[in-house]
Amino acid sequence: MAQVEQDERPAGRDETAAAGGPAAAGPGSEPGAAAAAGEDQAWGAEARRIVFDLAGVGIYKSSPEGRMLMINRPLARLLGYAGPEQALAELTDVARQLYVDPSRRRAFVTALQRDGRVDDFVVQVRRRDGRPLWVKQSAQAVTDAEGRLRCFVGTAADITAEVEALEALRFAERGYREIFEHAREGIYRSSLEGRQLRANPALVRLNGYASEAELLAAVGDIAKEWYVEPGRRAEFAQLMERDGKVEGFISEIYRHKSRERIWVEENARLVRDEAGRPLYYEGTVTEITDRKAHEAELWRARLSAEDANRAKSAFLANMSHELRTPLNAIIGFAEVMQQGLYGPIGEPRYLGYLEDIRGSGLLLLQLLDDILDLSKVEAGKIELAEQPVDLAEVAADCLRMLSSRAGAAGVELAPLKAPAGLPLLLGDERRLRQIVLNLLSNAVKYNRPGGSVRVCLASGVDQSAPGGEPAGGLRLTVCDSGPGIPEAELERVFEPFVQLESSARAAGQGREGVGLGLPLARQLVQLHEGSIRLTSRLGEGTIAEIRFPAARCLPALARREAAG
């Protein structure tokens, strides 16, 4: 402990003299020398006061009982006081007024009394406004000549930021450890050379071991002992060197202890030191064996479906060839007999039968064509013979072709409504005619006696244009006054071989056709980069709307050039 020879009270004349001040000068002393010594002493005291207040740390003197006896300006302000005077006036019991935990003051005093000195004593204190902060104290006990404890002199520095940063680090470490210990994915750290450094419980279990130590001892070289495919670890390292990370790195590995082969997905990064030198890899491992098995099953199913589709296409092509030949013969002979090329038919009723034979043959031929076309579209084997097409002429021709059938069904076909100057459509005329015929056939077939069908053409709306502004597209609509389609069934009618019995019954029709018209129409429209949709009201009718984009429309000038 440090000792003092005098009281702690401010030095008076006697003490000053004892220290060699003016009072110590004898009768023979020079007055000038005494004055200079006094000035030196005064300047020394002032210098100590300046240093005391300008120090970068808090400095204090306190009594063993807890009263603040001296405090410099930095410490007073740190504790929330206006200055040393206010702090000395108010701090009469530092254990109660400053220490968040008063027992820490008792521990501090006990250590000073026992050892005479305390270094780096960390404690949480309370500012004058109640806000807590952390300080680090170093102090020394001061005694008098007889060894009696007089006071404590020490320093205090604010370390709140350091303590909070350390606590945040500890919290992060606890959080990381909890994740490390309880994650379902394997977490690892491995050396650049391929040695396992850390493994969490999930990775330990994945490899068939009971503890991390057992796994680390067993795996010596990841490249040779873990990956099934030779060179896979080298690919991993190359990606790390290039990108600093790997994502979705899928490999087949050995479940190390049992040597069972499984599939895993790795996501990892390369960790570097402050100088940028590579240190190690760390990442996660997720087993995806079930996913890979499912993918393999899907792949096999796709191959099987492709084989089945090829077989279907081959069957349809063969069926078409085998059926077309006799059908053409039946239709041809029926026409020969109808025309009486080799003599008249004696019985008039036979002429009606011949017409039925010819009509049925043509219907079967059309059905074969539809089946083959749909099969080709689905297989991506239809190529459009594109040229500028006048869609208005195509629609008018289709109306003429169906006029007899509509008349027989008691359905009125309204004249085509199309404004002048519509653009030409870049497309396959035969396929466009097929689209319109299919829509018109449905509109007539699923109508009622006395009903009507209207076909309209207009400049469309280009859905790809900002705001959907008109941009020279084409819109074709076919409207009927039939019984309508339930809203829930509007998408189903685009499925192959689907026919709605409710619509057929309401229209008084049987199950004519096989349900290929709308599916084929949609596929052909999409080949022309267009779209088709149905809207319907039960009891009022159905509207089929086709939109072709502006990119496929040629301006009216092109119409004149094409005509010329």
Of 224-233, 326-335, 432-441, the poorest mean pLDDT is in 326-335
More confident residue, 45 or 139: 139
Integer Cα distance of 356 and 508 in angstroms: 21
**Residue 25, pLDDT score:** 44
**Residue 452, pLDDT score:** 95
Of 29-33, 250-254, 378-382, the poorest mean pLDDT is in 29-33
**Running DSSP on this structure, what letter comes out for residue 139?**
E
| Sole residue written with tokens 């279990």 | 205
Q: Percent of the chain at pLDDT above 90? A: 57
Integer Cα distance of 363 and 195 in angstroms: 75
Question: Is residue 414's pLDDT more than 60?
Answer: yes
**Residue 174, pLDDT score:** 85
**Residue 517, pLDDT score:** 82
pLDDT tens digit sequence for 104-127: 999 999 999 999 999 999 999 999
pLDDT tens digit sequence for 170-212: 888 888 888 889 899 999 999 999 999 999 999 999 999 999 9
**Closest listed residue to residue 455, CA positions, set 471, 466, 469, 442:** 442
* Secondary structure class of 332 (helix, strand, coil): helix
Question: Is residue 216's pLDDT more than 70?
Answer: yes
Residues near 277 by beta carbon (within 8 Å), at least 6 away in sequence: none
**Residue 6, pLDDT score:** 43
**Residue 367, pLDDT score:** 75
More confident residue, 372 or 70: 70
pLDDT mean across residues, the chain: 84
More confident residue, 139 or 49: 139
Q: Which amino acid is at 427?
A: G
Integer Cα distance of 520 and 526 in angstroms: 10
Integer Cα distance of 345 and 342 in angstroms: 9
pLDDT tens digit sequence for 256-297: 889 999 999 999 999 999 999 999 999 999 999 999 999 999
Q: Percent of the chain at pLDDT above 70? A: 84
Mean pLDDT over 557-561 rounds to 46
Question: Is residue 513's pLDDT more than 60?
Answer: no
Q: In terms of DSSP bridges, do strands 452-461 and 412-413 run parallel, antiparallel, or are they unpaired?
A: parallel
Instruction: Give the number of other CB atoms < 10 A from CB of residue 361.
Output: 20
More confident residue, 310 or 339: 339
**Under 8 Å between Cβ of 137 and 123:** yes
**Residue 369, pLDDT score:** 78
**Under 8 Å between Cβ of 140 and 117:** yes
Mean pLDDT over 370-378 rounds to 75
**Closest listed residue to residue 328, CA positions, set 383, 280, 369:** 369
Domains in the chain and their CATH numbers?
A: 49-161 (3.30.450.20), 166-292 (3.30.450.20), 293-375 (1.10.287.130), 383-560 (3.30.565.10)
**Residue 42, pLDDT score:** 58
Question: Is residue 140's pLDDT more than 70?
Answer: yes
**Under 8 Å between Cβ of 470 and 491:** no
**Closest listed residue to residue 204, CA positions, set 285, 290, 261:** 285
Q: Which amino acid is at 331?
A: I
State both tokens at 8.
Answer: 């702690």
**Closest listed residue to residue 455, CA positions, set 472, 441, 468, 470:** 441
Question: Is residue 22's pLDDT more than 70?
Answer: no
**Residue 336, pLDDT score:** 85
In 123-266, which residue ranges form alpha helices assigned H by DSSP? 160-182, 201-206, 212-218, 222-225, 232-243
pLDDT tens digit sequence for 446-486: 899 999 999 999 986 544 444 444 456 899 999 999 999 99
Q: With cut-offs at 50, 70 and 90, classify the pLDDT of residue 37.
A: low
CB-neighbour burial class of residue 274 (10 A; exposed 0-12, middle 13-18, buried 19+): exposed
Integer Cα distance of 61 and 152 in angstroms: 6
Mean pLDDT over 91-97 rounds to 94
Q: With cut-offs at 50, 70 and 90, classify the pLDDT of residue 21.
A: very low
Q: Which amino acid is at 231?
A: G
In 276-413, which residue ranges form alpha helices assigned H by DSSP? 289-339, 349-378, 391-401, 403-409
Residue 250 forms beta bridges with which residues?
Answer: 265
**Residue 19, pLDDT score:** 36
Encode 409-446 in three state secondary structure: HCCEECCCECCCCCCEEEEEHHHHHHHHHHHHHHHHHC
More confident residue, 90 or 28: 90
**Residue 319, pLDDT score:** 72
